[in-house]
Chain A
């Protein structure tokens, strides 16, 4: 079974802090994704990566950056957290169209 893990289930940060969200997958998938989920808006794509050191902007990249130094790991970085970044963050990986998701990180920015 594909396993996608995220470093934290719950995180509380202060405005202006730098935040790192880590995601690891164990199935050698080339594609990895970061989404945020907000009520009524579904899942919105922040960034994705097709290969190591490659990244592409999704629909809402502003305020975020990513890093993919190893195939199995995809990190989401909030350079200076703001209250409107309070959300559920979901990481996913895929080989083809079907994406496999991690359990999510509930981030609260105070």
Chain B
């Protein structure tokens, strides 16, 4: 059973608008969360992260929100750009599992010019 889920396999957004990518998790032992971005034929690259002691982390156009009670996190991209078109994975780390990441299934974001 997947402990980290991204229920939307794809998302299409107009350039300049907000993109919201969602991620849900089931294991309350997760205490650190990361978002990765993956272009075709490349490995995933780290985008932004958040610790469970925070509910928001911002880096330029990217903001991650964490709702621990709902076991839900979201990545907001504002404004969206065509170069943001990629597959986005959320990942979670358990507080007693060293450096192991558990990944969601990914969401393909398409930003239309």
Contact = CB atoms under 8 A, between A and B. Distances in A.
Given A31-B99, A41-B105, A42-B103, A100 B89 contact: no
Contact of A97 (B9, B43, B99, B104): B99
Interface in A89-107: 90, 92, 94, 96-104
Interface string A22-56: 00000000010101000011111100101000000
B105 A98 contact: no
Nearest to A103: B43
Contact of B34 (A41, A98, A102): A98
A43 B9 contact: no
Contacts of A45: 100-102
A4 interface: yes
B99 A90 contact: no
A96 B32 CA distance: 12
Contact of A42 (B32, B46, B49, B106): B106
B49 to A, nearest CB: 7
Q: Which of A41, A45, A94, A97 is packed against the most chain B CB atoms within 10 Å? A: A97
B45 interface: yes
A43 B44 contact: yes
**Secondary structure class of chain A's binding surface, majority of residues:** strand
A100 B45 CA distance: 7
A97 B103 contact: no
Report, as a range, how many residues of chain A touch the other chain: 20 to 34
B105 A102 contact: no
Given A45-B100, A97-B101, A98-B46, 15 more contacts: A42-B4, A42-B6, A42-B105, A43-B101, A44-B103, A50-B98, A58-B100, A90-B44, A97-B49, A97-B99, A99-B101, A101-B36, A101-B43, A103-B41, A103-B42
Interface of B: 2, 4, 6, 9, 32, 34, 36, 41-46, 49, 89, 91, 93, 98-106
